[in-house]
């Protein structure tokens, strides 16, 4: 891939699903917030953007009707800017950014926006009307294995203990809480005024600027008391799984040669993107083949990657990925992950890009990898290079 510059990458703070600040806010509303800010920070004109690609895992109801197009209009983009919504479940946000990078590489256009949005408060997991295919359910029911059960399957097959999962989760909260305390997320988060309904039913305006999931007081003792939620004899609990969340993120990408000619400031470069399939009932192992495939294509070794953002769908699958790939735990999700921050499905991959760019800069690391497991039995991985 030729040089694809990332001019800006921002996100909302992540709201707690169902009971957080964004529970009553339409996803296209806060999706427009990040798109508008991404354009502003990139220093480009709105008319320069030729396409907006937004990931969304449950594109229906308030986030249906090609939500990317709605977001583009709400963000003030002209009708000449096209838009499309893409869905690869948990990797939708990263996939959207990769689609923009590929389009620029193919000379379809010079400037585009990729991102993701999800309101798990307004549109539940599986949507409002889940409907499995009867024949597939009869002949290959593994295709519809519930996410929690896939985590239990990974934990059992690879001997990931309850203690290992809970310890990982405590560390995720510690890291995320430290990042908030130190202001490490401040630059990537776009603060905005959200209209919410109070307990009295009266609408009020709240300044939304801080992730609501991380708990600085989380302890191993507290997590050990939680009951398992998917298998009575299992190990996966609400405390070592990702949180239901709301949020959005967006990035402006541009042909690097044109960006340099126009003297735009470049944050980093999008270097590559791959996906890999795994057994659907073992969904959580997806990052392993995806990362191996990506590094193989890029000619890089594990120890050349300075930071990894591996989505914490479940602690079990990230613990497995770290062990299987031989990663230094200190390099993986140094600012915490979805166990603490939350996992707004379609947004997460784009959120990870915003986070990893800042962390790479803090550490002065050349390469970073964003990866995640994906419902249905897949993994995805993207390579970012610091400018």
Name the one residue in this structure whose structure tokens are 């010079």: 110
CA distance 235 to 197: 36
CA distance 134 to 151: 24
4-123+243-386 has which CATH code? 3.40.47.10
pLDDT tens, residue by residue, 75-110 = 999 999 999 999 999 999 999 999 999 999 999 999
C-beta separation of 234 from 155 below 8 A: yes
CA distance 28 to 34: 10
Please tell me which residue in 173, 335, 343, 347 is annotated as part of the active site.
343
Output the pLDDT for position 199.
80
Output the pLDDT for position 201.
84
pLDDT tens, residue by residue, 173-213 = 999 999 999 999 999 999 999 998 888 888 899 999 999 99
Please tell me which residue in 56, 335, 347, 373 is annotated as part of the active site.
373
User: What is the residue extent of each domain of the chain?
Assistant: 4-123+243-386
Q: Annotated catalytic, 343?
A: yes
Residue 379 has pLDDT above 80, yes or no: yes
Confidence band (pLDDT; 50, 70, 90) for 335?
A: very high
Q: Annotated catalytic, 347?
A: no
**Cβ atoms within 10 Å of 381's Cβ, excluding its own:** 30
Name the one residue in this structure whose structure tokens are 């939350």: 342
Share of the chain above pLDDT 90, in %: 97
Average pLDDT of the residues of the chain = 97
**Cβ atoms within 10 Å of 220's Cβ, excluding its own:** 13
pLDDT tens, residue by residue, 287-322 = 999 999 999 999 999 999 999 999 999 999 999 999
Please tell me which residue in 56, 90, 335, 347 is annotated as part of the active site.
90
Residue 378 has pLDDT above 90, yes or no: yes
Residue 1 has pLDDT above 90, yes or no: no
User: Beta strand 203-208 with 192-197: parallel, antiparallel or unpaired?
Assistant: antiparallel
Q: Annotated catalytic, 133?
A: no
Angle subtended by helix axes 147-157 and 315-325, to nearest 10: 40
Q: What is the distance in angstroms between the CA of the first residue and the CA of the last residue of the chain?
A: 16
pLDDT tens, residue by residue, 240-288 = 999 999 999 999 999 999 999 999 999 999 999 999 999 999 999 999 9
């Amino acid at each position: 891939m030729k040089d694809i510059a990332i001019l800006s990458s921002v996100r909302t703070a992540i709201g707690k699903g169902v009971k957080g600040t964004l529970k009553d806010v339409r996803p296209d509303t806060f999706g427009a917030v990040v798109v508008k800010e991404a354009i502003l920070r990139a220093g480009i004109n709105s008319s320069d953007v030729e396409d907006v690609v937004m990931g969304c895992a449950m594109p229906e109801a308030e986030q249906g009707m090609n939500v990317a197009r709605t977001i583009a209009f709400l963000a003030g983009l002209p009708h000449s800017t096209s838009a499309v919504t893409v869905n690869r479940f948990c990797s939708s946000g990263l996939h959207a950014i990769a689609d923009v990078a590929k389009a620029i590489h193919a000379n379809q256009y010079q400037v585009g926006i990729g991102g993701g949005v999800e309101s798990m408060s307004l549109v539940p997991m599986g949507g409002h009307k889940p409907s499995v295919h009867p024949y597939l359910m009869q002949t290959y029911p593994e295709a519809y294995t519930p996410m929690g059960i896939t985590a239990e399957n990974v934990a059992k097959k690879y001997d990931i203990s309850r203690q290992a999962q809970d310890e990982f989760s405590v560390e995720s909260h510690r890291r995320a809480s430290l990042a908030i305390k130190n202001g490490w997320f401040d630059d990537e988060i776009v603060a905005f005024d959200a209209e919410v309904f109070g307990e009295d039913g009266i609408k009020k305006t709240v300044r939304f600027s801080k992730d609501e999931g991380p708990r600085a007081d989380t302890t191993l003792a507290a997590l050990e008391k939680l009951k398992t939620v998917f298998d009575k004899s299992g190990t996966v609990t609400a405390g070592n799984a990702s949180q239901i969340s709301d949020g959005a993120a967006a990035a402006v990408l541009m042909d690097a040669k044109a960006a340099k000619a126009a003297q735009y400031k470049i944050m980093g470069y999008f270097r590559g993107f791959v996906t890999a399939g795994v057994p659907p009932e073992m969904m959580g192992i997806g990052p392993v083949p995806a990362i191996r495939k990506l590094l193989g294509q890029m000619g890089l070794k594990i120890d050349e990657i300075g930071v990894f953002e591996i989505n914490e769908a479940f602690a079990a699958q990230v613990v497995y990925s770290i062990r299987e790939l031989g990663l230094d735990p200190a390099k993986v999700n140094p600012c915490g992950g979805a166990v603490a921050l939350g996992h707004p499905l379609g947004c997460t991959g784009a959120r990870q890009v915003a986070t990893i760019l800042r962390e790479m800069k803090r550490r002065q690391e050349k390469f970073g990898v964003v990866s995640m497991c994906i419902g249905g039995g897949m993994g995805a991985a993207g390579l970012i290079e610091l400018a």
